[in-house]
Structure 1
Amino acid sequence: MKLREQALLKVEPQVFVPTSSHPAIQRFPWKTSIVTTVFWVGEQAGGNNPVPNFRSSWDANWTGSYGGFDNPDSSARRNYIPVAFIPHQNPFYCALPYNDVTHGQFKPEAPLVIPWFKQAYTGPGQSVCQHHWIAIRKGNRTCYAQWEDCGPFRTDHFQYVFQNERPKPNLNRGAGLDVSPAVRDYLGLGPTDVTDWQFVEVRDVPPGPWRSYGENNHFVIARRQTEQRLAERSFGASKK
């Protein structure tokens, strides 16, 4: 994790840290006309990608947690997942250029700028950004994905992610959002494209293929809990 942060810090300036908190908002504004690039679990470093994606900012063994290499080649995918295996995590994932945690601790601004910080807090240094949902819009199609990594290029730009700044210039035309092959395929995106995005709450995520897979997926977790309760009731009834 430290090596990844160090690699990204090479292109990160120091930033202003706010000193006052803002009330949480329930509806989040759209970030419009954001240059969007495609990345994937297991991606090698090279070209305009300075950091390999075997690990994420929050998971030192992201490839293992996911279940393998999320092959972006369309011939190696079917129904938004790789044909080689069923992902252990949601194939609809994304990266935004902010990490709320550094060296195992929350950054000073994190409780002040992340609207859902108090509601999502589970303990010191446990990211409240990881797994959060966003909506991504291209034309008349909207896709939903979970925030699973930090980038492109930066991990410090809370003024863009949570406030009103635009993404900073970078090697990928000022890209401010990375999306997975599943998101790319659902929206019909090119390798570098332009989309709109906004944060959403779990309750606002509609039915779709983004609800189908993943041990990190709130909908999969809820289904399993429901199935377990039904099984326990059935077992209890059979003993009477």
Structure 2
Amino acid sequence: MTRSGRNGAPATMRLARIAAGVLLVGLTGAALTGCSLFKPCLGLAGCGGTVVTPTSTSAPGGGTSYPVHTDIVGTTFWVGEIFDPNADDGSQVLSTYDSNWLANYGGCDGTTAGGSCETEARSAANDYFPTEITPKENPFYLDLPFDDVNDPAAFARRDQVVPWAGQEPYASHSGDSNFSYMKNRWVALSYNGATCYAQIEDAGPGEYNDAEYVFGADDARPLNSRYGGAGMDVSPAVVGCLAFDELNGEQGGISWQFVDDSAVPPGPWTKVVTTSQVQ
């Protein structure tokens, strides 16, 4: 697996992830799986504070009420983008969860010109879908900086920090590095009075074990310092739906929170829902 653009995991990590994960869990046991409210930080990457599991309060529309993250910077990425051909984390042809992302998605999530996959403006007239292909997976996607399958430290503590880890189908896959707790989870994103929904299909940007930001209840800032300190990358459909200021840039002022499936309202984001697991 490669790091995809501003996100993902090194190519060698997919080949080694099962062995690494098993070794970490086997050597450390539950006591070394990372931060929690009552256990001290044990030196795992990105472990700079505490992670408080959200209480299971009722959310509008059903499901669990998760913490809201405010004033976050987001950048744009898209399936098929070549962010930096000279970097091992410079391509969205793959994602951290899908080694064949481009083909599984259905092609370039934008416009192809001169052999290059570029982003494009999206319109409500066609539900913010790409204009040159019919996507096989949800064009409303994003990443967050917690790679729970390829980053050994994140994998080792995911059962402790991911709020839904004890629910099915996740609980049955504890210790299974071929099953992601993050992939396909829904996120509500708001900007300038608009709210849209998207599914997690990659990890990043810049950091891959930032549980304190991703799951924390105290609105922590992302560890990532690159790309304007971005705490997420979002797809062109999300950019269009939220009416970002730029087609392909850094957008501040985003609020987001996890939402359960039951709390996702019908919309263009539910026309095609991604269900595939790690590949």
Q: Shorter-chain TM-score: which interval?
A: 0.7 to 0.9
| Residue of structure 2 aligned with 1:151, choices 180, 191, 204 | 204
Distance between the aligned counterparts of 2:92 and 2:274, measured in 1? 19
**CA deviation after TM superposition for structure 1 residue 14, in Å:** 2.6
**Identity percentage of aligned residues:** 35
CA contact (8 A) 1:87 1:214 kept: no
Q: Which moved more, 1:185-194 or 1:76-85?
A: 76-85
Give the structure 1 partner of residue 18 of structure 2: none
Cα 1:64–1:24 change in 2 (3 A) is farther
**Structure 2 residue runs without a partner (length 5+):** 14-43, 57-63, 111-118
Give the structure 1 partner of residue 229 of structure 2: 174
Distance between the aligned counterparts of 2:235 and 2:51, measured in 1? 35
Q: Secondary structure at the match of 1:40?
A: coil
| Residue of structure 2 aligned with 1:192, choices 245, 250, 257 | 250
Give the structure 2 partner of residue 67 of structure 1: 106
Q: Which moved more, 1:200-209 or 1:104-113?
A: 104-113
Give the structure 1 partner of residue 66 of structure 2: 28
| Residue of structure 1 aligned with 2:181, choices 96, 117, 128 | 128
Distance between the aligned counterparts of 2:198 and 2:133, measured in 1? 20
Distance between the aligned counterparts of 1:57 and 1:138, measured in 2? 27
What does 1:1-240 align with in structure 2 at a 5 Å threshold?
A: 1=1, 5-6=9-10, 14-16=45-47, 22=53, 25=56, 26-46=64-84, 50-71=89-110, 72-74=119-121, 78-102=126-150, 107-119=155-167, 120-121=169-170, 122-123=172-173, 124-125=176-177, 126-163=179-216, 164=218, 165-189=220-244, 190=246, 191-194=249-252, 195-216=254-275
CA contact (8 A) 1:66 1:89 kept: yes
Paired amino acid for 1:73: E
Distance between the aligned counterparts of 1:144 and 1:23, measured in 2? 20
Cα 1:153–1:106 change in 2 (3 A) is closer
Paired amino acid for 1:145: A
Deviations 1:175-219 (A, max 9, x none): 0011100000011012211210000001111111001014439xx
CA RMSD, aligned part only?
3.1
**CA deviation after TM superposition for structure 1 residue 90, in Å:** 0.4
Distance between the aligned counterparts of 1:134 and 1:111, measured in 2? 20
Q: Secondary structure at the match of 2:166?
A: helix
Q: TM-score normalised to the size of structure 1?
A: 0.78
Structure 1's consecutive aligned runs of 4 or more residues displaced over 6 angstroms after TM superposition are 17-21, 103-106
Larger radius of gyration: 1
Distance between the aligned counterparts of 1:16 and 1:100, measured in 2? 14
**Structure 1 residue runs without a partner (length 5+):** 218-240
More helix per residue: 1 or 2? 1
Paired amino acid for 1:58: Y
Cα 1:19–1:152 change in 2 (3 A) is closer
**CA deviation after TM superposition for structure 1 residue 101, in Å:** 1.3
CA contact (8 A) 2:148 2:180 kept: yes
Paired amino acid for 1:5: A
Distance between the aligned counterparts of 1:91 and 1:114, measured in 2? 25
Deviations 1:73-99 (A, max 9, x none): 128994311122210100000000111
Distance between the aligned counterparts of 1:105 and 1:161, measured in 2? 15
Q: Secondary structure at the match of 2:45?
A: coil
